[in-house]
């Protein structure tokens, strides 16, 4: 295998910066937009929740489709760039319409603009991210490429979280500012990408595959199955913990004012600890590095059972460990996927990067239904109330979903990852 690096630090930054606006609008979509449309616009929680839940399910189908179409594209600009050139202006327009709606926006407006947003987000993100899988022949440089995206993703999330605080104004104005900044960064990111990022080299002319043949190829790839199943399990655990974090801080620690600080610590810790996971992957393997982070997170979640009212310092320490583990969960599976893609494409003279990445993305998006579809109904039946007088039974039930079930899921992933090395061989 070729081991030479192809990207400088500046080129890594030029590649990753396009992730920042994607993270900004993605963060706004999860944290701000549902509540804004439900309350300020007045569409109601049930209707808005149904729209965005349907959007996530929609992504599960459109991500692999766009990935397959990108893999099969033959163009003088390559298979990825034509899709990105469509995705950037489409996402810019749909993000503005979604984050800055007119005063008379109704449910049909939300359905239309959110559908456009989900489509153009996928049209840009899947081809763009798949380039990160293909661009380098160096297995460790692939971890740096994934880390670059993760760092700029953290930057985007921090920007989106700080804008409402800095403006200290109505959420509608803050959302408009987030959209404006994200649109500017989309343009800047695309220019940086076009000017400084080297193009992936394809040694052979890839063989075209139909959608059915593509699906058969995915089912027949044992290494990909192991990786995707492990990733699904870990992301399911992450979704439960992340989705219930605000309730944990407000009702178990009884410190709702610390929510913003806690998430800031998680974001910063994600970026700070990335070099550690890359170092471990070099000394042992990417798979071992991922297993280490999973077990570390299990220890932190076990400690969450013993935290109580006023344990602020311990809570912030918990955030540091949680962020560190989340960073490894983002980088190592992506870098491992890049290894699989490179080896598979070379051996079979095909192009599969975008399809494989889209499968991973679809799995990730599907897991974020878990808090709404599993935890919330059970907590409601148990009588758990946000800000209410919850008894031992209600708090115990909550902690099972916040920490207990995620620990069990992560240990299942460790068992799976320990069974055999995940590699093209």
Please indicate, yes or no, whether residues 229 and 370 belong to a single structural domain of this protein. Answer: yes
Of 169, 194, 219, the last residue of a domain is: 194
Q: How many whole angstroms separate alpha carbon 300 and alpha carbon 325?
A: 10
Please indicate, yes or no, whether residues 178 and 236 belong to a single structural domain of this protein. Answer: no
pTM: 0.84
Q: Is 377 exposed, middle or buried (0-12, 13-18, 19+ CB in 10 A)?
A: exposed
Of 134, 162, 194, the last residue of a domain is: 194
Q: Identify the weakest region by mean pLDDT among 31-40, 94-103, 283-292, 389-398.
A: 31-40
For the chain, how many structural domains are there in total? 2
Q: What is the pLDDT of residues 49-82, one digit of tens each?
A: 788 888 888 888 898 889 888 888 887 878 899 9
DSSP state for residue 421 in the 8-state scheme: -
pLDDT band for position 345 (50/70/90)? low
Please indicate, yes or no, whether residues 137 and 223 belong to a single structural domain of this protein. Answer: no
pLDDT band for position 203 (50/70/90)? very low
Q: What is the pLDDT of residues 351-399, one digit of tens each?
A: 777 888 888 888 887 787 666 567 778 888 888 887 778 888 989 999 9
103 occurs within a structural domain: yes
| Exposure of 289 in the CB half-sphere (CA atoms within 13 A) | 28
Please indicate, yes or no, whether residues 190 and 271 belong to a single structural domain of this protein. Answer: no
Q: How many whole angstroms separate alpha carbon 160 and alpha carbon 358?
A: 25
205 occurs within a structural domain: no
What percentage of the chain has pLDDT greater than the value 70? Answer: 90
Please indicate, yes or no, whether residues 266 and 398 belong to a single structural domain of this protein. Answer: yes
394 occurs within a structural domain: yes
Give the residue from 192, 227, 412, 210 showing the smallest Cα distance to 336: 227
Residues 6+ apart with CB under 8 A from 274: 147, 150, 151, 327, 328, 331
Please indicate, yes or no, whether residues 220 and 362 belong to a single structural domain of this protein. Answer: yes
Q: What is the pLDDT of residues 105-139, one digit of tens each?
A: 899 999 999 999 999 999 999 999 999 888 888 88
CATH (domain of 383): 1.20.1250.20
Please indicate, yes or no, whether residues 238 and 168 belong to a single structural domain of this protein. Answer: no
Please indicate, yes or no, whether residues 315 and 404 belong to a single structural domain of this protein. Answer: yes
Q: Which domain holds residue 316?
A: 210-425
pLDDT band for position 184 (50/70/90)? very high
SS3 labels along 110-161? HHHHHHHHHHHHHHHHHHHHHHHHHCCCCHHHHHHHHHHHHHHHHHHHHHHH
Please indicate, yes or no, whether residues 285 and 408 belong to a single structural domain of this protein. Answer: yes
Please indicate, yes or no, whether residues 265 and 378 belong to a single structural domain of this protein. Answer: yes
Please indicate, yes or no, whether residues 388 and 270 belong to a single structural domain of this protein. Answer: yes
Structure tokens at 192: 């940086």
Please indicate, yes or no, whether residues 362 and 306 belong to a single structural domain of this protein. Answer: yes
pLDDT band for position 178 (50/70/90)? very high
41 occurs within a structural domain: yes
């Amino acid at each position: 295998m070729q081991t030479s690096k192809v990207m400088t630090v500046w080129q890594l930054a030029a590649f990753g910066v396009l992730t920042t606006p994607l993270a900004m609008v993605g963060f706004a979509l999860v944290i701000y937009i549902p509540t804004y449309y439900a309350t300020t616009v007045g569409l109601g929680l049930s209707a808005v929740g149904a729209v965005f839940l349907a959007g996530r399910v929609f992504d599960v189908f459109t991500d692999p489709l766009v990935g397959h179409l990108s893999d099969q594209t033959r163009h003088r600009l390559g298979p990825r760039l034509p899709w990105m050139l469509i995705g950037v202006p489409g996402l810019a327009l749909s993000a503005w319409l979604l984050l800055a709606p007119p005063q008379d926006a109704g449910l049909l407006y939300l359905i239309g603009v959110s559908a456009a947003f989900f489509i153009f987000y996928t049209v840009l993100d899947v081809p763009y991210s798949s380039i990160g899988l293909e661009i380098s022949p160096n297995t460790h440089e692939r971890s740096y490429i994934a880390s670059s995206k993760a760092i700029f993703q953290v930057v985007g999330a921090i920007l989106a979280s700080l804008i409402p605080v800095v403006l200290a104004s109505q959420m509608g104005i803050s959302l408009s500012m987030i959209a404006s900044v994200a649109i500017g960064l989309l343009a800047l990111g695309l220019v940086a990408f076009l000017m400084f990022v080297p193009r992936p080299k394809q040694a052979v002319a890839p063989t075209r595959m139909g959608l059915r043949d593509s699906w058969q190829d995915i089912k027949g790839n044992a290494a990909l199955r192991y990786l995707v199943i492990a990733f699904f399990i870990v992301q399911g655990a992450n979704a439960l913990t992340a989705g219930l974090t605000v309730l944990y801080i407000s009702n178990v620690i009884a410190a709702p004012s610390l929510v913003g600080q806690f998430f800031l610590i998680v974001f910063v810790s994600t970026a700070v600890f990335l070099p550690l996971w890359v170092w471990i992957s070099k000394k042992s393997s990417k798979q071992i590095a991922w297993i280490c982070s999973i077990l570390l997170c299990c220890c932190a979640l076990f400690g969450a059972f013993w935290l109580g009212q006023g344990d602020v310092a311990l809570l912030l320490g918990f955030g540091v460990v949680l962020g560190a583990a989340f960073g490894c969960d983002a980088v190592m599976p992506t870098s491992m996927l890049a290894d699989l893609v490179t080896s598979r494409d070379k051996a079979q003279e095909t192009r599969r990067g975008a399809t494989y990445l889209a499968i991973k993305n679809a799995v990730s998006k599907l897991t974020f239904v878990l808090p709404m579809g599993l935890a919330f109904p059970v907590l409601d039946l148990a009588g758990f109330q946000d800000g209410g007088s919850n008894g031992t039974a209600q708090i115990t039930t909550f902690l099972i979903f916040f920490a207990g079930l995620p620990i069990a899921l992560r240990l299942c992933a460790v068992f799976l990852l320990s069974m055999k090395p995940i590699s093209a061989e």
